[in-house]
Structure 1
């Protein structure tokens, strides 16, 4: 069964812009007010990942924390059936680490431990490098698209990419989800997925421009809507495939990749959304200004 994807996507983009602006403002307010819920990867402290042979509850671990003389508010405990994660805001020294293992062994003598410690300087460096990675990737993509197509395509593509990345970051900030190194990996993956979908649409627009009349904005609008309709089946199939895989990772994957898979679920949906309702209509706005310039000049000369 073949669907008819003919629709005025440019008209629908007006509502998409409003929705994206509201979400962006909410994200900015949340980030400025609450910040991000950084994991130990991006802030100093110690993270103890414990493999257990039986379920251990938070109530069982709390007395160990008290005996160590650590404030319970500085410790985040994530219990599980076969793994327990205990995150300390402060860096554990050798004595405290040894005492913790000794006390925890009373709950499970066969438990195995993996301790990761990040000092303040390393945490700042990781955060700085993560920001650089996203910026450099985006700039590189803009340069490639500008050379491969034209600067208007490049600018529209990068704005859509920043939109996708910021939406995911905003959702994690609003719902206080943990941001770790796998989250940064997910953001870069989302950027790659989104630009792939956008490039396919832009390539079809460029092909259709060769044979289309492009003397008015209405002509360009028709080209954009027709190109989106032609690529819609491919875009949705690709999105559904990645989305389904990400959902499976989120449900069946381990705790260590849970935030990665959740970021992928959110980013995949917004990646397809931005390619259709943000990137292509934004290129139309930029290109439409170029077409209207000769007419404006002609009126001025008269």
Structure 2
């Protein structure tokens, strides 16, 4: 089913207010990142994860008791019925893993199975570096693609919008001290894809309208941008709502392992739709303004 919305809003008139809001959130995110940092999961710091299957329901309180009895500091426990995932901020040795397994065997019987996953310091640093490189490389290639298909002003606007979306989502996770792991990186890359898709749809409509419009001054340009955004707004809302509902259902009904991925997706989707309309399009218009004000060179008559 396709829903059509008849929404007309003066986007350019209020663009500076939205940009100011984005700048404030960005600065707040910078403060939290420097003071609090990110709550890195075991994927990005040294540690051990134990996935235990007991064949019967495992209680979280009992798991905590077993860990304490084994003489280990309390790890992050994620219960899931007959399975439980326990994360430790340090690398466990064989004796410590054996103590934990023995504790679960005593509590739940001999059918207990244990899977151990360990990330050492060097691997954690390598994963973190590769995650950053992946986001940067994706952004650079997107910028090149937009520059070739459109023009350099569109490319700059798109890349600013993408970094805004990625950093906004990272800031939310830093402010609320939510765990960041490899699934979070996957969410960021997915967000970048959806955001650039929304942005290109708007840019394509702006470019198409520019071919037939007689833009003589900045007022004409603002009217063109407002019209272009309004013409693509139905498509943007329908796309975001459809994907957002899917991410919301994953967040509510999915397992604990994908909860943060779903949350990052929801935040990023909303932010991507917002930035395409209120950041990318107005920023392009502001840069395009300078070219409208340039006086044309007088034609030189041939002798």
TM-score (norm 2): 0.92
Aligned equivalents of 1:276 and 1:123: distance in 2?
37
Q: SS at the partner of 1:210?
A: helix
The equivalent residue for 1:128 is: 129
- For residues 16-75 of structure 1, the C-alpha deviation after alignment (integer angstroms, 9 at most, x for no partner) is 112211211111111111111111000001011233445444432333323333233xx2
Match of 1:23 in 2: 25
**Equivalences for residues 71-110 of structure 1 within 5 A:** 71-72=73-74, 75-109=75-109, 110=111
Could you say which residue in structure 2 is the equivalent of 1:40? 42
Tell me: CA distance 1:149–1:55, structure 2 relative to 1, closer, same or farther (3 Å).
Answer: same
Report what 1:193 is aligned to.
194
Q: Distance in 2 between matches of 1:6 and 1:164?
A: 24
**1:116-150: CA deviation from partner (whole Å, max 9, x where unpaired):** 10000000000000000000000110011011100
**1:242 CA displacement:** 0.7
Q: Which runs of 5+ in 2 are unaligned?
A: 299-303
- State how 1:114-193 maps to structure 2 within 5 Å: 114-193=115-194
Relative to structure 1, the CA distance from residue 64 to residue 3 in structure 2 (aligned partners, 3 Å threshold; closer, same or farther) is: closer
For residue 10 of structure 1, give the secondary structure of its aligned residue in structure 2.
coil
SS, match of residue 11 in structure 1: coil
Q: 8 Å contact 2:143–2:159 — kept in the other structure?
A: yes
- For structure 1, which runs of at least 5 residues remain unmatched after alignment? none
For 2:118 and 2:4, the matched residues in 1 are separated by: 55
Spell out, residue by residue over 1:134-180, the C-alpha distance to the aligned partner (whole angstroms, 9 max, x if none).
Answer: 00000110011011100000000010000000011011111111111
Count of paired positions: 295
The structure-2 alpha-carbon separation of the partners of 1:197 and 1:107, relative to structure 1 and needing over 3 Å to count, comes to same
User: How is 1:129-278 mapped onto 2 (pairs within 5 angstroms)?
Assistant: 129-278=130-279
Tell me which residue corresponds to 1:285: 286
- 248-257 vs 153-162, which moves further: 248-257
Normalised by the length of structure 1, the TM-score is 0.92
